[in-house]
Amino acid sequence: MAITLQATSFHHIIQNVQATFLPGELVALIGPNGAGKSTILRMMAGVLRPTSGAISLDGKKINALHRRERAKRIAFMPQQIAEEITFTVREFIAMGLYAHRNPLGGLSPLLRSRVDEVMHSLALERYADVVLHQLSGGERQRVAIARCLAQGSDNILLDEPIANLDIAHQLDTMEILTNLAKKGHLVVISIHDLELAARYASKMYVVHHGKIVREGVAQDVIDPVMLQEVFQVDAMTYFEHENETLRVHAKKSLIMPTR
């Protein structure tokens, strides 16, 4: 069930990316704004077609898969969902199951149960009949995650899933994604919180100017040199053995000129 990027490019945004994503991994794409993380995820989901190279799932080009088949095998959550959506939370989540439902009927009891299950896991039951545009940004984000997870796909791609969440829901979401990876799913996320990425990801890719410049586990990827070259911050890193957590202490930005 591996997803493989082979010399993949997309116009000037992504340049000759080589990467393999395996079942059971929780992979974090990190990098500054505009580095190309979202474009990589959108190509992996089949939303964008590479301008050169190829992206394959088990040896089959993702863009060659029928849309319905692709939806069964790959779940994708984009960075934003439209604010004016007038469906209820339950309806919006259920829409993500179109690839599994009978075209002539509604949701089966099994699929209804799946919707209820993901709403429960993300503490969304009380919003089930609330129209989506009435929710806060963080609440809509959790609904978008729920819709993605409800698909039941083996490959789960999420673009900044914790960006608008408070710290409790950030941790809850990362725990859910970790458990999915432990069950054999491939989970790939873009994320800006380097400490949470280091804590939860089994593998990290650093994306900079459309290229993957580093890959590996957090301790091999996140260091002061990378933080200066890629993120343009003067920072120190240290490993907190008691909690088995990598810490990042950013001292100052190197973007703005000093006065």
31 vs 210: CA distance, rounded Å: 10
Domain-located, residue 156: yes
Domain-located, residue 259: no
Domain-located, residue 258: no
Domain-located, residue 167: yes
Domain-located, residue 193: yes
33 vs 28: CA distance, rounded Å: 15
Residue among 71, 75, 65, 76 nearest 39 (CA): 76
Which CATH number belongs to the domain containing residue 220 in this structure? 3.40.50.300
Range of the domain at 25: 3-253
Count of the separate structural domains present in the chain: 1
| 3-class state of residue 43 by DSSP | helix
Domain-located, residue 60: yes
147 vs 14: CA distance, rounded Å: 28
pLDDT by 10s per residue, the chain, length 259: 799 999 999 999 999 999 999 999 999 999 999 999 999 999 999 999 999 999 999 989 999 999 888 988 999 999 887 767 889 999 999 988 877 766 656 677 878 889 999 999 999 999 999 999 899 989 999 999 999 999 989 999 999 999 989 999 999 999 999 999 999 999 999 999 999 999 999 999 999 999 999 999 999 999 999 999 999 999 999 988 887 789 999 999 988 765 5
pTM of the model: 0.93
Q: CA 90, 96, 99, 101: dihedral to nearest 10 degrees?
A: 0
Tell me, rounded to whole angstroms, the distance of Cα 238 from its chain centroid. Answer: 26
125 vs 241: CA distance, rounded Å: 38
Tell me, rounded to whole angstroms, the distance of Cα 78 from its chain centroid. Answer: 8
Domain-located, residue 47: yes
